[in-house]
Amino acid sequence: MAAKTVRLTMSQALVRYLCNQWVKTETGRERLFPGVFGIFGHGNVTCLAEALEAVQDELPTWRGQNEQSMALAALGFTRARRRRQIMVATSSIGPGATNMVTAAAVGHSNRLPILLLSGDIFANRRPDPVLQQVEHFAAPSTSVNDAFRSVSRYWDRITHPEQIVSSLPQATAVMIDPADCGPAFIGLCQDTQEVAFDYPEAFFEPVVHVIARPRPDRDQVAAAAALLAAARRPLIIAGGGVRYSLAEAELAAFAAARGVPVAETVAGRGVLVHDDPVNVGPLGVIGSASANALAADADVVLAIGTRLQDFTTGSWSAFSPEARFVAVNAARFDAVKHRAAPVVGDAREGIAELAAALGDWSADPAWTARAGREYAEWNRAVEAATRPGNAPVPSYAQVIGAVNRAAGERDLVLTAAGGLPGELMKNWKVKSPGTFDLEFGFSCMGYEIAGGWGAAMADPERAVYALVGDGSYLMMNSDIYSSVLTGHKIIVVVCDNGGFAVIDRLQTFKGGASFNNYIRDSRLAREPFAVDFAAHARAMGAEARSVRGIADLEDALEWARGTDRTTVIALETDGTVWTPGDAWWDLGVPEVSAREAVRDARAEHEAGRTRQRIGV
């Protein structure tokens, strides 16, 4: 008997498939693809949009203002849902598609799934070149969508309607795989979208996906346990993989039972609450003095769910040359870095199996006690940095302290690039797990407001505080309007320091002159003037206030909690006051320069490079 079929256009079939994908979560069954962010154009408006309109109650489409920011909002959503649900973002051909390349890179570097659907050139090539087509003379099948190859875990172009029958399940499998997850890109040729095909009904049967928890190899666990059992000064590095494995409680219990201090990466920040007895603070270039001091003396480092980015490792200068590494990671690629003893598997399962293999082993009590002292001293520094002052222009740390005091136990704080990441990383006191979102895998300016919109959509029962610098605000702010329109309230705090202050800090620290970072140091036709961020936000429908000083900020934060829409608070912030605690960071410093300060910085930097571990 022939299989039953249903005749649909390729676009209609694609959308029906998405509507029938579900995922098993801790609370039951939810849609794997709960919504679409879309901006329509001639590459997706006549076919894909027609299909989405018909199912808007099952698969809601949210209109963005910019393709990059709507895809960033999708990533903010999936990060808040801890990779249990995946948003879709669709654009037209051409600039609409290339606008999403940056967001794809954010997803790729942070191991975050997103399904990207862009219009593409005509498969039959009859009307070539079509509007917005970039022609490659020697490669006529190449379009701008090929740019997504370097920032996607899965890439395909649909030139025949039947191809989605094999492509969509593969894309879905990649996005829910803890080891491979990241962006999946599918280019939809414009003429293919319209073609009808007799699809097998079985293709549309509901599927409930289960996020895999791969168990590690027994021999890998045994080898890792042997290394740890010989350790006197062990240190755990908790990465984002702990969070996405929902392994926070298991990690805290494992560390507490064995007296092992835990340092957090950027992606792992918020795995532990601030006052957890095993917490020793964030590690690395924008980390704490406590975690960095312990890393320098650790003899065995247990890295769980982290890709060991340079901001975590201090460009591999933060550890003793003799330190050994054990890496628990779902991705083999990450588990074998720097000749670590790999434990390839799910973080929660890896922790459980290591615990069983280690028995009653524990760290040297003197090491555990030292960790407590180091963290207590660091917390005194945090208290001093975040203490309210009377200065009309407060520091970043004082602003963060005020927001931290105003935030509820479940409220989320979110930021990305600029000076705020380091100050937030160091000074935020996490009140409950999963309430801290710092996009620093790609350090993408513009994630802050867009990601806040997505996070508010993911969990409307908590407040979302998006902290953003003036530079990032000017780069991408239109999702203030989006969030007002859709009713997903965020509280945006704009810290205005007159430019890219943290990059000026780096520039001058390495001997350079202040140049093209602060607005005042840029090439200008008129005197610099302050942007009225509050007025700008009000023009997009938000509630907004400009404030001066911490007392005014605290009053505005209390007011903001009671507003009925996205609310923006803007204030001038000191761009020269920074919280210490950093690790060394490698970057290019000129080998030859006419500036004595640069030559001195070069000599100091070369000395720093002598402390780096080189792949071993």
**Both tokens of residue 106?**
């954010």
- Are residues 176 and 23 in contact, defined by beta-carbon separation less than 8 angstroms? yes
Radius of gyration in angstroms for the set of CA atoms belonging to the chain, rounded to a whole number = 25
Continuous segment of H or E residues that includes residue 165:
helix 164-176
Residue 340: closest CA among 329, 355, 350: 329
- 575 to 179, 395, 445, 501: CA distances (angstroms): 39, 7, 17, 5
Distance CA 76, CA 47 (A): 28
- Are residues 192 and 10 in contact, defined by beta-carbon separation less than 8 angstroms? yes
> pLDDT band at residue 227, thresholds of 50, 70 and 90?
very high
pLDDT of residue 389: 87
CATH class of 218-378: alpha beta
Task: Give the 3-state secondary structure of residue 31.
Answer: strand
Read off the pLDDT of each residue in 434-454 and give the average, rounded to a whole number.
97
Residue 342 has pLDDT above 80, yes or no: yes
Residue 169 has pLDDT above 70, yes or no: yes
For CATH 3.40.50.970, the residue range(s) in the chain are 5-209, 387-572
For CATH 3.40.50.1220, the residue range(s) in the chain are 218-378
Read off the pLDDT of each residue in 154-177 and give the average, rounded to a whole number.
98
Beta bridge partners of 507: none
Residue 2 has pLDDT above 80, yes or no: no
Read off the pLDDT of each residue in 283-310 and give the average, rounded to a whole number.
97
Residues with Cβ < 8 Å from 65, sequence gap 6 or more? 39, 478, 479, 481, 482
Q: Write the pLDDT tens digit of every residue in 14-51.
A: 999 999 999 999 888 999 999 999 999 999 999 999 99
Residue 390 has pLDDT above 90, yes or no: no
Instruction: Name the average pLDDT for the chain.
Output: 96
pLDDT of residue 172: 98
CATH topology (fold) of 5-209: Rossmann fold (3.40.50)
Lowest mean pLDDT among 70-74, 389-393, 420-424: 389-393
Residue 116: closest CA among 214, 43, 221: 43
Sign, CA torsion 573/577/581/584: positive
Continuous segment of H or E residues that includes residue 537:
helix 533-539
Q: In what order do the strands lie in the sheet with 114-120?
A: 61-63, 36-38, 88-91, 114-120, 183-189, 154-158
Distance CA 437, CA 248 (A): 15
Read off the pLDDT of each residue in 439-457 and give the average, rounded to a whole number.
97
- Are residues 311 and 286 in contact, defined by beta-carbon separation less than 8 angstroms? yes
| Predicted structure pTM score | 0.97
Read off the pLDDT of each residue in 310-338 and give the average, rounded to a whole number.
96
Do the strands 262-264 and 234-238 form a parallel or antiparallel pair, or are they unpaired?
parallel
Task: Give the 3-state secondary structure of residue 576.
Answer: coil
3-state helix, strand, coil in the chain (%, to 5): 40, 20, 40
pLDDT of residue 410: 98
- Are residues 24 and 210 in contact, defined by beta-carbon separation less than 8 angstroms? yes
Read off the pLDDT of each residue in 350-371 and give the average, rounded to a whole number.
97
**Both tokens of residue 414?**
């979110």
Beta bridge partners of 24: 29
Q: What percent of the chain has pLDDT above 90?
A: 97
Sign, CA torsion 563/568/570/576: positive
> pLDDT band at residue 3, thresholds of 50, 70 and 90?
confident
Beta bridge partners of 415: 438
- Are residues 85 and 466 in contact, defined by beta-carbon separation less than 8 angstroms? no
Distance CA 514, CA 522 (A): 9
Task: Give the 3-state secondary structure of residue 200.
Answer: strand
> What residue type is assigned to position 1 of the chain?
M
**Both tokens of residue 343?**
């434990």
Residue 616 has pLDDT above 70, yes or no: no
- First-to-last alpha carbon distance for the chain, in angstroms, is 61
- Number of other CB atoms surrounding residue 600 within 10 Å: 13
Read off the pLDDT of each residue in 292-296 and give the average, rounded to a whole number.
98
pLDDT of residue 1: 66
Alpha-helix runs per DSSP H in 1-157: 10-19, 48-54, 67-80, 95-98, 101-109
Q: What are phi and psi of 93, to 5 degrees?
A: -70, 160
Q: In the chain, what is the greatest distance between 2 CA atoms, to the nearest angstrom?
A: 84
Residue 479: closest CA among 202, 74, 91, 196: 74
The 3-class secondary structure across 362-417, one letter per residue, is CCCHHHHHHHHHHHHHHHHHHHHHHCCCCCCCCEHHHHHHHHHHHCCCCCEEEECC
Provide the 8-state DSSP code for 216: P
Residue with the two structure tokens 């069983």: 356
**Both tokens of residue 584?**
């060394």
Residue 463: closest CA among 541, 536, 335, 557: 557
CATH topology (fold) of 387-572: Rossmann fold (3.40.50)
